[in-house]
Structure 1
Amino acid sequence: MKRKWSTRMLAEGGVMIALSILLSYIKIYQAPQGGSVTAGSMIPIMFFAMRWGVGPGVFVGAIYGILHFILKPYFYHPLQFLLDYPIAYGFLGLAGIATMKNGKTNAKDYFIIFLGVLLSIGGRFISHLLSGVIFFAEYAGDQNPWLYSTAYNAGYLVPELIISSIILLLLWKPLSRIEK
């Protein structure tokens, strides 16, 4: 179903971006060359995508990625910028495959929520993985750059996946009652 952009949708997107930025400053773990486990900073973007759909979610995620770069810039190459910021965070919009609906929530709904979170954070992982292999292979030393980048990015994205999944699964039912 195609969604029409509305003032409410754009305002909600702005609020979710602001909330994500605030949550990104609450760090549980900070990786040495970037990346961190936060207090669920990706949840507002994924929640927005679940309410409004994949397209608006990808857009809001990409805008968040650009603002994230502006606030905490790490620039090496234009392609690295694209992979690490607007593309990586744009993938969070894929959580929109799990659309919120009023009514009873069953086991299938919870599986789709988890699948949406997995797909969105998995997309972000692949984007950071490619950036790591292409632009930051020197940090791998004697290790295979693919294995190093996989381990490095999984070190903070797997905990984020767990945190985001648990919180969104717990909040799904009450949040799905919010009127659009």
Structure 2
Amino acid sequence: MTKRSNTLFITEVAVFTALAYLLDYLGNILSFKIWPQGGSVSIAMVPIFLMAFRWGLKGGLLTGFLLGLLQFILGFAQVYTIIQGIIDYFIAFTVVGFAGIFARQISKMLNEGKKGKWISYVIFGAFIGSLLRYLCHFVSGFVFFGEYAPKGQPVMIYSLLYNGTYMLPSFVISAIIVILVISAMPKRMLVREKNLF
């Protein structure tokens, strides 16, 4: 990576991390505490997905990790134990960046003008990132929040449903927004093969 592209990468990571934090903050405000133990329908994953599709795994994983770190530093995270906090924030948001495994395919399909195919890869990538984040929250809910399950309901079902109620809409809304943003991007903004690993 050249010095210029390295500077661009660092700048974009900083900007997109800040944007993700702001979107997550707004999502929590607008959710009116529907999810008392944390969670909200939010489009905070959109900047992580965009970085993952533009810069590959390094962009997505770093942006997600820094979002989790920001939530800790600025006191936005709901941390009940250290391990729970690490799973629900550092790991959960970092793994969203695994959407970047499809960055090359998206770039290639965009350059070849195959709209249906690049959209499919965006959806697959967003699904994988969202699913991995969901699994982190599911495990955390199962291990650390079982006491909040309604009487008679298995803790595993409680965690499955609780986390699914905000993660499914977050995935769908984020995927749609990412598709719209990529559709509007000029070709020169597309990922270059040399930026990916």
Q: Which has the higher helix share?
A: 2
What is the CA–CA distance in structure 1 between the aligned matches of 2:58 and 2:140, rounded to whole Å? Answer: 24
Distance across 1 between alignment mates of 2:147 and 2:16:
36
Unpaired stretches in structure 1, ≥5 consecutive residues: none
Length-normalised TM-score, structure 2: 0.82
RMSD, aligned CA: 1.9
Is contact 1:105–1:173 with CA below 8 Å preserved after alignment? no
The C-alpha deviation readout for 1:6-42, integer Å capped at 9, x for no partner, is: 111011000001111111232342422111112x221
Residue 36 of structure 1: which of 36, 40, 47 is its match? 40
Q: Which residue of 2 aligns with 1:144?
A: 154
> CA 1:123–1:130 in structure 2 vs 1: closer, same or farther (change >3 Å)?
same
Partner of 2:194: none
Question: Does the 8 Å contact 2:77/2:89 carry over to 1?
Answer: no
1:114 equivalenced with 2:123 (yes/no):
yes
Q: In 2, Cα distance between the equivalents of 1:120 and 1:149?
A: 19
Q: Which has the larger radius of gyration?
A: 2
Deviations 1:50-92 (A, max 9, x none): 1001133112211111111233132222211111011000011
Residue 7 of structure 1 corresponds to 7
Following the alignment from structure 1 to structure 2, what is the Cα–Cα distance between the partners of residues 47 and 67? Answer: 19
Identity of paired residues, percent? 34
| CA deviation after TM superposition for structure 1 residue 161, in Å | 0.7
Paired residue for 1:132, among 135, 138, 141? 141
Specify the code of the residue in structure 2 equivalent to 1:148. Answer: Y
SS of 1:98's equivalent in the other structure is helix
Q: Secondary structure at the match of 1:75?
A: coil
What corresponds to 1:162 in structure 2?
172
What TM-score does the superposition give when structure 1 sets the normalisation length?
A: 0.90
1:171 partner amino acid: V
| 1:140–1:51 CA distance, 2 compared to 1 (3 A) | same
**Equivalent-residue separation in structure 2 for 1:118 and 1:169 (angstroms):** 13
Q: Within 1, Cα distance between the matches of 2:135 and 2:156?
A: 11
Contact residue 13 and residue 62 of structure 2 kept, 8 A: no
The total of aligned residue pairs comes to 177
Write the distance in 1 (CA, Å) between the matches of 2:186 and 2:162: 35
1:98: Cα distance to partner?
Answer: 2.7
Question: 1:154-180 CA distances to partner (integer Å, 9 max, x unpaired)?
Answer: 111111011011111222233362166
